[in-house]
Structure 1
Amino acid sequence: MPSSALLWGLQIAFLSPALALILVTLYGATTAEVGWVLAIYNAGGFIASLLLPAYADRKHDYLGPMLACGVLTVLLAAVLATVTSLQLATIALIVIGGPAGVGSSMLYAHLRHSGARPADVVNTRAIVSVAWIAGPPLATFIIGWFGNRAVLLAIAAVAVLNIVTTLIMISQGRVAQTSGAHPAAAPPARDEPPVGRAGVVLITAAFVLLQATNATGMTILTVYVTETMRLDGMWAGIALGVAAALEVPALIGIGRLTERFSSLGLIATSCLAGIAYYLGLAFAAGPVALIALQPLNAWSFAGIGGVGLTLFQRMIPRPGLSTGLYMNTRRIGSIVSGPIIAFGSITALGQRGIFVASAALTLAGLLIISLGGRITTKKGTADPAVLPVPTG
């Protein structure tokens, strides 16, 4: 399982930062065309991350679809390496790349289905963060030394290893069934979510806002550091690197806390850390303050990216649907981040207004989550995602 998480993280960390460069260098795409292709590609991924998990939930099998995602990734790399037109590459990204990108969701769904604790899921998410620390620099190195198509070969190689690890997990599952050693399964799926539909809708909307502000902070930081803070762009890279390095211990730490405290309470602390981080950035004046704020950024991400995943899995009993819905809050949040940057930058504060707006939206997300928790509590559910978990 840890090997699979590391490989899926590497696969995404190779493709995501390099995709725009691949479109420009291999197919001659303009900046506007890159934007449209990525938007269409993400739309295809959005649909795939709803349909494929729903199929997996019906079959109660998540490793089979995950294996198919690995095979599709190899096929995608081969097609992108051979086609010569942007139109064909776009079709390949929609038809093949969309479903292929659901593999990591299937891994988390399999964890939930097999009875893993929330701490185990968060720890697995921490392994993916480790891959993101090494993945983008390694992809840049491969492109620089071996050319743009070489990164597609690297992605295919990682996908082959993904296929191997998935086959091993499938084989282990069959051996366990034969020997009669069955893992504790997650609660069976049922149509009505245990927290109630209103609570799910509110918490999902809140996470779209939280994911949007998180994406905004990462997207605009380099521009903000160079144009507003008047620092060398190197400091933005150092800040992002420090935040990425701190994400791993933050995820592990907050994963352990899920055994003692409610998920909504931990996410509330992450929201407060996010508000402090964005306000701090809005008024930061030098590199020391920029770096000193990164622990707040890491804790904010740990709650949104780690505990948030387990919260969705616990409030929606179908592992595939819950994980797919959570992953789509990130996709929608990335879309929403564009207007946040656009409208925030035209305020009297300039680019600093982007982070003030992010702080305000994070506060709005916290309030919506609080409202969703109150609705859940009034419905009388005993879901440990919402109510404190007894210890001892």
Structure 2
Amino acid sequence: MRRHPDLAGSALLWGLQFAFLAPALTLLLVTLYDASMSEVGWVIACYQGAGFVAQLVIPAWADRRRDYLLPMLAAGLFTIALAIALWFATSLSMALVALLLLGAPAGVGGSMLFAELKHQGAGLQDVTSVRAVFSFAWIIGPPVATLVIGSLGSRALLVAVAIIALVNLGLTVHMMRARSRRTLDEPVLAEATAAVGKVPVGLALLSFVLTGATNAVAVAVITLFVTEHLGLAPLWAGLCLGLCALLEIPVLVLSGRLAINRPKFPLVVVGSALALLYYLGLLVVDSPWMLLLLQVPNAVFIALIEGLGLAWVQEIIAAPGMASGMFMNTRRVGSVLSGVVISLGSAGAAGVAGVFVVCAVLAAVALVLLLVAGRMLRTA
């Protein structure tokens, strides 16, 4: 990361933008536009769908041009435009149009950041260190966003997001002026996937979709699990989420060092296996201290999948923009799938605990898919 300080700074700013807006979006839709929970669900589903398309189209364009800073600059401009549009929107339909036309392309900034990192020839340790900066942003972002909303109102959060985006824009312009003009000889996606086979790449991405879905589910229902199933105060849920995010940072840094000059895939498999261990552990947890202890495998699982998983995907899909965009899309699709998991898992007699039964099954399937993909890639 010392060789890429500008990108590390940009990662902090992009992380803060997402950490400010993503958790508070539901609250903004309800408080500013009087949306019902049903309407919120439809708006977020449409927004995620538009973001999915943007994460395919824009990275493909960037790969053809071998330019990832220009899309980053555009994403920053779209972020500012989104904040302004949401400020002046007077109805939910206007907010939806703003999210589709402005929010979707704005969300590509993070994947373009990692694509530019790869384009500059960054090593694994750089990738995992920059990803650790994202985790740090998510530790401080939601509490600060809550403080801003509580002190100054919901619209004030939009001002904060716009200010962060403006600073990030200035940093991106600086990077565009300072970057070298060298051109890296990188194959496009069609050539890269042809070399390893589209089927194993697809299986690997599907595995990440499933683990991403389980992670989204766990974050969404942990408070309900703590209060209703374990009979504990909501504070314990906050402690779990905070401890997990805090542990991710050293794990990301250490895993980056550990995997230098070593294959990344075995550690990615370990991360997938720890996901299964975490959800099985939640099925037998009977104390708050055991719940906190389970955040260790949870943090390692998230760090290995999010850090080394991204680096590994950038190896098997040589086009940096498409690799980063498709990896980010696995989390987006997983978030959409999480709603189905919550509905199915909580429908039985086990209640909220049944959600983690489904998570354990999905984690097991994800592990099998990953192992099959790895075997096919080794024999390709």
> Bigger CA drift: 284-293 or 342-351?
342-351
Deviation larger for 340-349 or 105-114: 340-349
SS at match of 1:191: helix
- 1:145 and 2:151 matched: yes
Which residue number in structure 2 is paired with residue 216 of structure 1?
217
- The structural deviation recorded for 1:190 is 5.3
1:114–1:186 contact (8 Å) kept in structure 2: no
Who is 2:231 aligned against? 230
Equivalents in 2 of 1:262, 1:278: separation in Å? 27
Residue equivalent to 2:246: 245
> Which residue in 2 is equivalent to 1:266?
267
Asked if 1:256 corresponds to 2:257, the answer is yes
Contact 1:264 1:369 survives alignment (8 Å):
no
Cα shift readout 1:13-63 (whole Å, capped 9, x = no counterpart)? 010011111111111111111111111111111111111111111111000
| CA distance, structure 1, for counterparts of residue 349 and residue 155 of structure 2 | 45
Shift of 1:186: 6.4
Q: Quick check: 1:334 aligned with 2:340? A: no
- Give the structure 1 partner of residue 173 of structure 2: 167
TM-score normalized by the length of structure 2: 0.95
2:319 maps to which residue?
Answer: 318
1:356 and 2:357 correspond? yes
2:299 aligned partner, one-letter code: A
**May I ask how many residue pairs the two structures share in their alignment?**
372
How far apart in 2 are the matches of 1:212 and 1:71? Answer: 30
Q: Equivalent residues in 2 for 1:1-392 (5 A)?
A: 1-173=7-179, 176-177=180-181, 182=182, 185=184, 187-189=186-188, 191-192=190-191, 193=193, 194-379=195-380
For 1:209 and 1:4, the matched residues in 2 are separated by 29
Native 8 Å contact 1:211 1:304 kept in 2 = no
Q: Is this contact kept in 1: 2:136–2:249, CA < 8 A?
A: yes
CA distance in 2, matches of 1:202, 1:242: 31
Q: 1:186 to 1:341 in 2, by over 3 A?
A: farther
Show structure 2 runs of 5+ residues with no match: 1-6
Question: 1:206 offset after TM fit, Å?
Answer: 1.1
Alpha-carbon distance between aligned partners in 2 of 1:90 and 1:163, rounded to the nearest angstrom: 24
Residue identity opposite 1:78 in structure 2:
I
Deviation at 1:260, TM superposition (A): 4.2
Moved more, 158-167 or 190-199: 190-199
Structure 1 residues 86-132: Cα deviation after superposition (integer angstroms, max 9, x where no partner): 10110000001100111011000111111111221111111011000
TM-score by length of 1: 0.92
8 Å CA contact 1:57–1:319 kept in 2: the answer is yes
Summarize deviations over 1:313-366 as a string: whole Å, max 9, x none.
110111111111111111111111122222222344332222122122111111
Q: CA deviation at 1:210?
A: 1.0
Deviates more, 1:276-285 or 1:158-167: 276-285
Q: Secondary structure at the match of 1:367?
A: helix
What residue identity is the alignment partner of 1:98?
A
